[in-house]
């Protein structure tokens, strides 16, 4: 199997590329940037080729995927700036990146008789209620532009390529880039207290753990839509922040507030980000470790950098 990974300069793509390298699977990484230097176990990954590619250039994307003889595409690249996506001047571009590009890539993989894995999000749902969202739920109603654009990407792939995996994730954190944990650590070291929303509930996802699962998936033909986050009880951002500070040994006071009280965000955020992961179990995939275990390992990895 020869794999093409998009967005390898991001948190998840970075870890997927390294997981493929660990398993000795041939892969080509890509990103909008002209160069890439990956890190695996503290050392650069020099054996994996990289291609600078603007994915909105459909003709160039088709040429590269064809010339590289790609059997499997893991599509990690996306517009992820949720608040910026609400800017009317950026909306069309967001939908092009998140909604149209996945469909065009799926067409290429269909012509190459290959498979594709697409990363989606809990934001495709309305975020209402308290029941975990099922994998096959089709009553979506996304509440912001980002969610609507990612849903468009899902639907574009389903129309074109039966040999697909769509994996919805939430609350992502990894070593290669910015995330909630890094932000909270910075704030906690500078301020005696921090206000965090307590009425948005979900589960964190460590990219290192997720990357292992994604590579497990593409080595099979168990196609369909899945949910993947770390195991453990559902928590709020407030609960998660308290756990972060406790594990990091910080005494910063964490003050719970409602989403309305917190304010600031341009984009509406879902209150219910709970994702059911029953399909992973049914299909025989190994779930991700408990989020507390993931948090501990992640903070240790940050310390080692």
Q: What's this model's pTM, rounded to 2 decimal places?
A: 0.94
The CA distance from 172 to 103, in Å, is: 24
pLDDT at 46: 46
What is the maximal distance between C-alpha atoms in the chain?
Answer: 57
pLDDT at 145: 97
The CA distance from 136 to 60, in Å, is: 34
Task: Strands of the chain (E only): list them.
Answer: 2-6, 26-31, 38-40, 43-45, 50-52, 72-75, 115-121, 164-169, 172-173, 193-197, 201-202, 205-206, 224-227, 230-231, 235-236, 253-257, 288-290
The CA distance from 137 to 263, in Å, is: 30
DSSP secondary-structure letter at 133? B
∠54-55-60 over CA atoms, to 5°? 80
∠61-57-117 over CA atoms, to 5°? 45
Beta-bridged to residue 275, according to DSSP, are 133
pLDDT at 186: 96
Give residue 205's Cα distance to chain centre.
Answer: 8
Residues of the chain with pLDDT under 70: 37-47
Domains belonging to the chain, first-starting first, are 2-176+204-231+274-289 (3.40.50.720)
Render the burial of 129-142: b for 16+ CB within 10 Å, e for the rest. eeebbebeeeeeeb
- Please report, to the nearest 10 degrees, the dihedral formed by the alpha carbons of residues 108, 110, 116, 121 taken in order: 80
Contact 271, 200 (CB under 8 A): yes
Residues shown for the chain: 305
Give residue 16's Cα distance to chain centre.
Answer: 11
CA distances to 13, 176, 288 from 206, rounded to whole Å, are 12, 11, 9
pLDDT at 7: 94
């Amino acid at each position: 199997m020869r794999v093409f990974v998009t967005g390898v300069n991001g948190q998840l793509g970075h870890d997927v590329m390294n997981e493929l390298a660990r398993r000795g699977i041939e892969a080509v990484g890509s990103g909008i940037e002209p160069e890439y230097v990956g890190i695996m176990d503290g050392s650069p990954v020099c054996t994996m080729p990289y291609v600078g590619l603007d994915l909105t250039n459909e003709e160039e994307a088709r040429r590269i995927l064809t010339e590289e003889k790609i059997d499997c595409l893991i599509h990690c690249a996306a517009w992820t700036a949720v608040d910026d996506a609400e800017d009317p001047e950026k909306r069309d571009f967001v939908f092009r990146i998140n909604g149209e590009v996945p469909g065009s890539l799926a067409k290429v993989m269909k012509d190459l008789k290959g498979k594709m894995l697409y990363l989606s999000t809990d934001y495709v749902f309305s975020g209402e209620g308290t029941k975990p969202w099922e994998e096959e739920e089709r009553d979506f109603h996304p509440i912001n532009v980002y969610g609507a654009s990612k849903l468009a990407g899902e639907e574009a792939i389903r129309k074109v390529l039966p040999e697909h995996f769509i994996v919805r994730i939430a609350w992502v954190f990894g070593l290669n880039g910015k995330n909630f944990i890094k932000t909270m650590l910075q704030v906690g070291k500078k301020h005696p207290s921090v206000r965090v929303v307590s009425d948005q509930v979900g589960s964190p996802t460590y990219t290192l753990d997720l990357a292992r699962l994604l590579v497990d998936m593409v080595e099979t033909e168990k196609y369909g839509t899945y949910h993947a986050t770390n195991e453990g009880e559902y928590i709020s951002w407030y609960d998660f922040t308290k756990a972060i500070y406790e594990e990091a040994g910080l005494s910063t006071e964490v003050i719970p507030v409602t989403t309305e009280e917190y304010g600031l965000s341009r984009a509406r955020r879902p209150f219910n980000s709970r994702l059911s992961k029953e399909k992973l179990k049914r299909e025989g995939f190994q779930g991700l470790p408990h989020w507390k275990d993931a948090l501990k390992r992640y903070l240790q990895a940050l310390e080692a950098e």
